[in-house]
């Protein structure tokens, strides 16, 4: 939620900052209108998802859990690679979109720009939270953690707006991207487990290994690792294979795409 919140907060901060530079501060209310509308829509979607999916039982619950896990993993993967490609140009691209919106009449176009930019993050957040809570008998800890993440994201966005600190966004997105890849790998493994329970996928070796530590049913750290990274002390062979088959290639590709560029050295010419 911190990662998703920071993306949305920085987008809003860029829009507001650019309007200030253009001396169009009066138009900022439309950015806020679009942002608030996006938040309300995201909350509504989250409530619908929870009320329709949170009460499922038996095979329907397992099928839904597996499907949501795979869908969330796919959406996460798309998100991190989209950010890796767009990180360098997002500020200039948003400035261009603001210019277009203002030229088209301002109010509605500017509100729509803010709404679309923020609602994407909000819908993703709703799906991610559902993927960690459905079927786990959530006690509200995930919601509290999500709210803390969003509050921290709002603070980072405010700092970005006022320019009182220098935020290395590339390093931030690289670090959080690695964590999200590990989270997505856990969702892939979880999806495999649910479809194995249904008999859709073969079980093969039911317990590839069995550890007596960090058991999510008795250990707090184990529960945290299960919720965030899909940890289990007793994975099946297919779960372990699916986890590594996703994690390793996606992580390597992401690190290559976000590797710091090394400035080229000037060519040295021999003296005459």
Measured between alpha carbons, how far is 3 from 105 in angstroms, rounded to an integer? 33
- Average pLDDT in the chain: 76
**Residue range 63-89: mean pLDDT, rounded:** 75
**Residue range 193-215: mean pLDDT, rounded:** 76
Whether the Cβ atoms of residue 205 and residue 236 lie closer than 8 Å to each other = yes
Read off the pLDDT band of 92 (50, 70, 90). Answer: low
Q: Assign residue 265 a region: left if phi > 0, alpha if psi is -120 to 50, beta otherwise?
A: beta
pLDDT value of position 94: 67
Among 154, 165, 109, smallest CA distance to 4 is for 154
Q: pLDDT tens-digit profile of 215-224?
A: 776 777 777 6
Find which of 162-166, 188-192, 220-224 is predicted with most confidence, using mean pLDDT.
188-192
* Least confident window among 61-75, 131-145, 171-185, 229-243: 131-145
Helices (H) and strands (E) in the chain — how many of each? 9, 0
**Predicted confidence (pLDDT) at residue 156 exceeds the cutoff of 70:** yes
Whether the Cβ atoms of residue 153 and residue 8 lie closer than 8 Å to each other = yes
**Predicted confidence (pLDDT) at residue 249 exceeds the cutoff of 90:** yes
Whether the Cβ atoms of residue 258 and residue 247 lie closer than 8 Å to each other = no
Whether the Cβ atoms of residue 161 and residue 252 lie closer than 8 Å to each other = no
Among 90, 80, 92, smallest CA distance to 9 is for 90
- For 158, half-sphere exposure in the C-beta direction (CA atoms, 13 angstrom radius) is 6
Going by the DSSP 8-state scheme, the letter that residue 201 receives in this structure is: S
pLDDT value of position 214: 74
Measured between alpha carbons, how far is 246 from 181 in angstroms, rounded to an integer? 9
pLDDT value of position 161: 77
Q: pLDDT tens-digit profile of 50-74?
A: 777 665 566 776 777 778 778 878 8
pLDDT value of position 246: 93
């Amino acid at each position: 939620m911190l990662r998703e919140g920071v993306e949305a907060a920085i987008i809003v901060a860029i829009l507001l900052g650019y309007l200030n530079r253009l001396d169009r501060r009066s138009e900022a209310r439309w950015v806020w209108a679009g942002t608030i509308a996006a938040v309300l829509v995201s909350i509504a979607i989250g409530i619908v998802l929870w009320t329709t999916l949170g009460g499922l039982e038996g095979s329907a619950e397992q099928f839904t859990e597996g499907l949501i896990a795979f869908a969330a993993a796919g959406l996460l993967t798309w998100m991190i690679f989209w950010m890796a490609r767009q990180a360098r140009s997002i500020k200039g691209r948003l400035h261009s979109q603001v210019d277009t919106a203002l030229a088209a009449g301002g109010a509605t176009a500017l509100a729509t720009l803010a709404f679309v930019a923020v609602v994407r993050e909000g819908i993703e957040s709703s799906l991610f939270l559902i993927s960690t809570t459905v079927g786990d008998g959530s006690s509200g800890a995930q919601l509290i953690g999500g709210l803390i993440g969003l509050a921290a994201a709002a603070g980072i966005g405010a700092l970005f707006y006022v320019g009182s600190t220098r935020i290395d966004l590339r390093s931030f997105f690289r670090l959080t991207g690695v964590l999200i890849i590990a989270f997505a790998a856990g969702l892939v493994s979880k999806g495999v487990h649910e479809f194995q329970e249904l008999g859709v996928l073969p079980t093969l070796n039911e317990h590839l290994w069995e550890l007596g530590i960090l058991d999510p049913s008795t250990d707090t750290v184990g529960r945290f690792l299960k919720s965030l990274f899909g940890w289990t002390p007793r994975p099946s062979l297919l779960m372990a294979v699916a986890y590594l088959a996703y994690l390793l290639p996606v992580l390597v590709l992401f690190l290559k795409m976000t590797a710091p560029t090394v400035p080229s050295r000037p060519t040295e010419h021999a003296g005459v």
